[in-house]
């Protein structure tokens, strides 16, 4: 699915359903799931009952005052519900877009699992795991599956947003096909790997519907903290009424504090701001992951990404561009560099690999050597094989051709020694020097004569070293995984700026490294696309499977990258950390702004019982009624004001934990202390004259 532009924070199409959802969530069953807001909910009901009593003339306070407090408490609950509904609406809009991709598809089911067997047409919904179908050019893939025969180009733009078609073929790591994609050429025989309702598209829809997500461990821990604070304030406020009654009875002066005022005090002191926005932050985190074209199986996976402190990254395609490029011609003793370049170019003219093309281009750039016509030279191409480990070209007389070869040093050594020649010691030293420098040496020979070495280099991606430096400042360790030998791996690791590397990596070695790291109490993230990556993906705390990878890899991971971009892992970690930073910022602000509300309500609540408390009225508010209402109104409006921050997230910065804590306390701690004083005073200035009219 393409996510070129994220939804606006307050999209008109989402506001209506979000407002309706805010009222729908007033059900007690829904409110009980959020203990902090449930206290506000109960307080709203209680003040409504007190208002009804006041209308009969038996009220503890003026009916207008109780009504105002009650209405703003209901608004507080509704605003919190609205924040959660808006976040859910954004995720559900994404799910609706995915549902639009589902079409009624017909499948050609094979009676025998091979091309050419008889077929009969069935609805895609009737397919079951293990069924075999034939898909030809122009047809949609009816269900998730594995290619068991054939090769074809497939349009996956409906799922990934990438317009370029991909090749799918039997065997290897590119055999998985996704239901809803379309075959553009040739044909495929596919074995279905999922039952109806279990397809990747179905799982995507379920994953992005954030309302159904489970609470994460961090969110549960924060909820426990908020509940504990709420209980502390509840007990403290509950003792104030008997204390006030006793004081009035003993002194015979003033009047006791009212239940309405105590409810207002309790609601303003408990952490309602973060309590009202906590769920919205979690849903928005999953939504931001989806906007990055990453499907997370749960909010737990997103949160784990924020806690990760070790990243395992594949070298090829992640740290390097993925294709080795020719960087230098190193001629043997007695051979000119031009002679070596000429032979290397001839040996590579028919080589369509990126490495082969780079050799041709380097020879052209260095010595202006133009490509020759192999037909005019009566040349025959010798392709690379796993057995020979070299390629090249034969020129001239087919009976006794001139043999130009390029390949691994040991392969060329065997080639020239078979013709009775010796492999030069100087060339071997050149081979070793290229390997130590992190390059891949290819040796070139002309018949039995060794001409020199071509240095192939893995090109490290631009800017990747700076990204790793940012991760290091955040306290995240980066480990490069590669199948290269230790010399090559060490050189590339040094150039890229990673903290460590695992060379000559096998599935067993990756799994052992992850377990060892986790045994040290650290959280590990990695990417993978092949079946051989599945064990390590299953073990990792954050496992990002490539959408182009095998079914085994996607099932082992807890995230799927629809773009199949290995560098996405860094972005995933940033999104996870942004969610945790947002939650921490809002919690800091919520706790800090209770201080100002304390200074507003306490002097007002006990103005008649304890006149001495007037010295705490540092804001010099108009009247006790105005002070209490101003604090309650601010408490409700601040939730609305912080909804954009909860949905968008705080600005991400690559800083360490200590620096983030200091910044958090400075901006949201100090801000949480100062802003309420200003906000409550401004509301009081507006509210005071209105209350005086009704006095």
Q: Return d(Cα 491, Cα 314) in angstroms, integer.
A: 15
Active site residue 314: yes
Q: Where does 96-233 show beta strands of DSSP type E?
A: 106-110, 119-123, 132-136, 145-155, 166-169, 176-177, 182-183, 187-192
Q: What is the distance in angstroms between the CA of the first residue and the CA of the last residue of the chain?
A: 61
Helices within 292-324 (DSSP H only):
299-307
The CA angle 511-515-520, to the nearest 5 degrees, is 150
Take residue 680 and report the two structure tokens written for it: 């409550």
| Residues, the chain | 695
Single out the catalytic residue among 144, 202, 314, 684.
Answer: 314
**Nearest Cα residue to 148 out of 191, 194, 111:** 191
Give the pairing of strands 132-136 and 559-561: unpaired
Handedness of CA 481, 484, 485, 491 (dihedral sign): negative
Q: Are 347 and 549 in contact (CB under 8 A)?
A: no
DSSP states of 530-567 as a string? SGGGHHHHHHSSEEEEETTS-HHHHHH-SEEETT--TT
Within a 13 Å sphere around the CA of 665, how many CA atoms are in the beta-carbon half? 5
CA–CA separation, 11 vs 3, rounded Å? 16
Phi-psi region of 475 (alpha: psi -120 to 50; beta: other; left: phi over 0): left
| DSSP-assigned beta bridge partners for residue 544 | 527, 559
Q: What angle do CA 370, 375, 376 make, to 5 degrees?
A: 65
Q: State the Cα angle at 693 between 692 and 695, rounded to 5°.
A: 60
Give 248: exposed, middle or buried? Use CB within 10 Å, 0-12, 13-18, 19+: middle
Buried (b) or exposed (e) across 624-640, using 16+ Cβ within 10 A? Answer: bbbbbbbbbbbbbbbbb
384 is in an annotated binding site: yes
User: What are residue 183's DSSP bridge partners?
Assistant: 154
Does the annotation place 388 within a ligand binding site? yes
- The answer to whether the annotation marks 387 as part of a ligand binding site is yes
385 is in an annotated binding site: yes
Q: Where do the H-state alpha helices sit in 216-353? A: 217-251, 259-269, 272-291, 299-307, 337-348
Q: Structure tokens of 161?
A: 């947003």
Alpha-carbon distances, residue 626 vs 261, 524, 535, 613 (angstroms): 12, 54, 64, 16
Contact criterion met (CB below 8 Å) for 244 and 262? no
As a whole number of angstroms, the distance between CA 286 and CA 198 comes to 20
**Which residues lie closer than 8 Å to 334 by C-beta, 6 or more apart?**
none
Phi, then psi, of 595 in degrees rounded to 5? -60, -45
Nearest to 84 by CA among 215, 217, 206: 215
DSSP 8-state assignment for residue 666: I
Question: Is residue 390 a known part of a binding site?
Answer: yes
CA–CA separation, 502 and 481 (whole Å): 5
Q: Known binder of ligand: residue 273?
A: no
Tell me the backbone φ, ψ of residue 143, rounded to 5 degrees.
Answer: -160, 160
- d(CA 475, CA 308) in angstroms, rounded, equals 9
Q: What is the 3-state secondary structure (H, E, C) of 343-405?
A: HHHHHHCCCCCHHHHHHHHHHHHHHCCCCCCCCCCCCEEECCCCCCCEEEEEECCCCCCEEEE
529 annotated as ligand-binding: yes
Residue numbers belonging to the annotated binding site = 351, 355, 384-391, 406, 529, 533
Residue numbers belonging to the annotated binding site for ATP = 351, 355, 384-391, 406
Residues catalogued as catalytic: 314
Residue numbers belonging to the annotated binding site for Mg(2+) = 529, 533
């Amino acid at each position: 699915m393409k996510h070129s532009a994220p939804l606006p924070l307050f999209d008109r199409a989402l506001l209506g359903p979000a407002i309706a959802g805010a009222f729908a969530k007033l059900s007690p069953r829904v409110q009980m799931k959020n203990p902090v807001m449930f206290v506000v909910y109960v307080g709203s009901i209680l003040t409504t009952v007190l208002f009804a009593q006041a209308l009969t003339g038996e009220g503890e306070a003026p009916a207008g005052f109780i009504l105002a407090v009650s209405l703003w408490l209901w608004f507080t609950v509704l605003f919190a519900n609205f924040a959660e509904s808006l976040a859910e609406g954004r995720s559900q809009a994404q799910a609706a877009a995915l549902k639009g991709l589902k079409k009624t598809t017909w499948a050609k089911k094979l009676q025998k699992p091979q091309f050419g067997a008889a077929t009969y047409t069935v609805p895609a919904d009737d397919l079951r795991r293990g069924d075999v179908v034939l898909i030809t050019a122009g047809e949609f893939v009816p269900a998730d599956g594995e290619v068991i025969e054939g090769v074809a180009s497939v349009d996956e733009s409906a799922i990934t947003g990438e317009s370029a078609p991909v090749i799918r073929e039997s065997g290897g790591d590119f055999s998985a096909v996704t239901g809803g994609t379309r075959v553009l050429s040739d044909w495929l025989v596919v074995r279905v790997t999922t039952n109806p309702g279990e397809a990747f598209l179905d799982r995507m829809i379920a994953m992005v519907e954030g309302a159904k997500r489970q609470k994460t461990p961090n969110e549960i821990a924060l909820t426990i903290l908020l509940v504990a604070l709420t209980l502390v304030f509840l007990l403290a406020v509950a003792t104030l009424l008997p204390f006030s009654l006793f004081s009035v009875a003993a002194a015979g002066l003033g009047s006791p504090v009212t239940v309405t005022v105590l409810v207002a005090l309790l609601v303003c002191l408990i952490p309602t701001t973060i309590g009202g926005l906590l769920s919205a932050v979690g849903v928005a985190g999953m939504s931001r992951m989806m906007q990055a074209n990453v499907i997370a199986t749960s909010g737990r996976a997103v949160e784990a990404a924020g806690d990760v402190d070790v990243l395992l990254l594949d070298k090829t395609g992640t740290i390097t561009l993925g294709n080795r490029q020719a960087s230098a011609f190193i001629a043997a003793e007695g051979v000119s560099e031009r002679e070596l370049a000429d032979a290397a170019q001839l040996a590579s003219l028919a080589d369509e690999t990126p490495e082969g093309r780079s050799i041709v281009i380097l020879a052209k750039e260095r010595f202006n050597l133009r490509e020759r016509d192999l037909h005019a030279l009566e040349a025959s191409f010798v392709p690379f094989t796993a057995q020979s480990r070299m390629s090249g070209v034969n020129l001239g007389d087919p009976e006794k051709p001139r043999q130009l070869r390029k390949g691994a040093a040991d392969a060329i050594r065997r080639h020239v020694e078979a013709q009775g020649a010796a492999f030069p010691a100087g060339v071997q030293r050149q081979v070793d020097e290229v390997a130590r420098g992190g390059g891949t040496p290819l040796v070139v020979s002309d018949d039995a004569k060794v001409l020199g070495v071509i240095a192939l280099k893995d090109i490290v991606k631009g800017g990747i070293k700076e990204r790793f430096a940012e991760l290091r400042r955040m306290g995240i360790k980066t480990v490069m995984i590669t199948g290269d030998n230790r010399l090559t791996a060490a050189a590339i690791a040094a150039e890229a700026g990673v903290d460590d590397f695992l060379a000559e990596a096998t599935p067993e070695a990756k799994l052992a490294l992850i377990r060892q790291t986790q045994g040290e109490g650290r959280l590990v993230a990695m990417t993978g696309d092949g079946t051989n990556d599945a064990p390590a993906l299953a073990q990792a705390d954050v496992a990002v499977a490539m959408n182009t990878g095998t079914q085994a890899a996607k099932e082992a991971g807890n995230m799927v990258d629809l773009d199949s971009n290995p560098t996405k892992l860094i972005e995933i970690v940033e999104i996870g950390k942004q969610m945790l930073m947002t939650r921490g910022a809002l919690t800091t602000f919520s706790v800090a702004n209770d201080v100002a509300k304390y200074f507003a309500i306490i002097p007002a609540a006990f103005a008649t019982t304890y006149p001495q408390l007037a010295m705490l009225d540092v804001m010099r508010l108009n009247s006790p009624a105005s002070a209490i209402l101003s604090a309650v109104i601010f408490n409700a409006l601040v939730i609305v004001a912080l909804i954009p921050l909860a949905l968008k997230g705080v600005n991400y910065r690559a800083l360490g934990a200590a620096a983030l804590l200091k910044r958090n306390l400075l901006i949201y701690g100090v801000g949480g202390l100062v802003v309420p004083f200003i906000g409550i005073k401004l509301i009081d200035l507006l509210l005071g004259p209105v209350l005086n009219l009704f006095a």
